[in-house]
C-alpha cells in the first residue's frame, strides 16, 4: 500500500508539471491578441453636434489616454451653461485641445468631403436595424487588411462618428457612412453616455 502510494506520488509529480505546461501553452495561444488592425493615428474620433462640455472634456481625456490624437467636432452647438455645483474648467479643455489635433466643421457635408479627400472610411454609431455589431465590422476590416490584395476598401483609416445621446448621428452622415456600427450591451439599457461609448469602442478597435 505504501509502495503504491509512492508510485502514485511519483507519477503525479511527473504528470502535473506536464499538464501545467500544456495548459500554459494553450492559454498563451488563446490569449495571444491578433495583429493590431488599426493604429491610433489611423483613427479619427468625430463628435457631431456635441453640446455637453463635460462629455466633451471626458472624450478628449479618453482620446489622449488611448493615443488617438485626431478629434473632429462637426456642427458644434453652443455649450449649455453649467451649474455652480458642477462647473466646467475651461483651462482643462484648452490644455487638452492643445495636446490633441482638434478640428471643427460647420456642416456634415464639409466633414464628409474631408473624409473622402483623406480616404477615411466613415463608421457611424447607430442603433437602427441597419447597424452591425462592432466586432462584425472589425472582422470585415481585418479580412480586407489581410486579404491577398489588402485593399482595406482603399481607406487610410476610420472616422468614428458619435452623435448626441438624444437623437444620435444625423441622417446625412448615416446615409453616406461606410458602416453603421453598435456596441452590444447586456441588460436593459441599449445606449450609453457618449463619453463612455467613445472609450469602449476605441478600446475595442485598438485592441484588435
pLDDT single digits (tens) 119-143:
999 999 998 899 999 999 998 888 8
Residues 54 and 118 in one domain: yes
List the domain range (segments joined by +) for residue 124. 40-207
Q: Is 104 found in the same domain as 178?
A: yes
**CA 178 to CA 59: how far, in whole Å?**
23
CA torsion 74→78→84→86, rounded to 10°? -10
| CATH number of the domain bearing residue 149 | 3.40.1280.10
Q: pLDDT digits over 60-81, tens only?
A: 999 999 999 999 999 876 555 5
> Which three-class secondary structure state does DSSP give residue 158?
strand
| pLDDT at residue 36 in the model | 59
Q: How many residues does the chain have?
A: 208
In this structure, are 119 and 201 located in the same domain?
yes
If asked whether residues 16 and 45 sit together in one domain, one would say no
pLDDT of residue 33: 44
Q: Residue ranges of the chain with pLDDT lower than 70?
A: 1-36, 77-91, 146-154, 187-191, 208
According to the model, what pLDDT value does residue 21 have? Answer: 53
pLDDT mean across residues, the chain: 79
- pLDDT score for 22: 55
Amino acid at each position: 500500500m505504501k509502495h503504491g502510494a509512492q508510485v502514485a506520488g511519483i507519477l503525479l509529480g511527473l504528470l502535473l508539471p506536464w499538464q501545467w505546461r500544456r495548459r500554459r501553452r494553450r492559454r498563451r495561444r488563446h490569449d495571444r491578441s491578433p495583429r493590431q488592425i488599426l493604429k491610433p493615428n489611423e483613427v479619427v474620433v468625430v463628435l457631431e453636434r456635441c453640446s455637453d462640455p463635460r462629455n466633451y472634456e471626458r472624450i478628449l481625456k479618453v482620446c489622449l489616454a488611448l493615443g488617438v490624437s485626431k478629434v473632429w467636432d462637426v456642427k458644434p452647438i453652443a455649450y449649455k451653461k453649467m451649474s455652480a455645483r458642477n462647473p466646467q474648467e475651461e483651462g482643462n479643455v484648452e490644455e487638452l485641445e492643445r495636446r490633441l489635433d482638434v478640428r471643427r466643421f460647420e456642416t456634415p457635408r464639409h466633414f464628409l468631403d474631408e473624409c473622402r479627400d483623406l480616404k477615411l472610411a466613415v463608421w457611424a454609431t447607430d442603433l437602427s436595424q441597419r447597424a452591425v455589431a462592432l466586432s462584425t465590422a472589425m472582422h470585415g476590416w481585418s479580412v480586407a487588411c489581410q486579404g491577398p490584395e489588402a485593399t482595406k476598401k482603399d481607406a487610410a483609416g476610420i472616422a468614428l462618428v458619435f452623435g448626441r445621446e438624444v437623437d444620435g448621428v444625423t441622417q446625412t452622415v448615416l446615409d453616406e457612412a461606410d458602416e453603421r456600427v453598435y456596441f452590444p450591451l447586456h441588460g436593459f439599457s441599449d445606449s450609453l453616455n457618449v463619453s463612455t461609448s467613445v472609450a469602449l469602442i476605441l478600446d475595442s478597435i485598438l485592441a484588435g
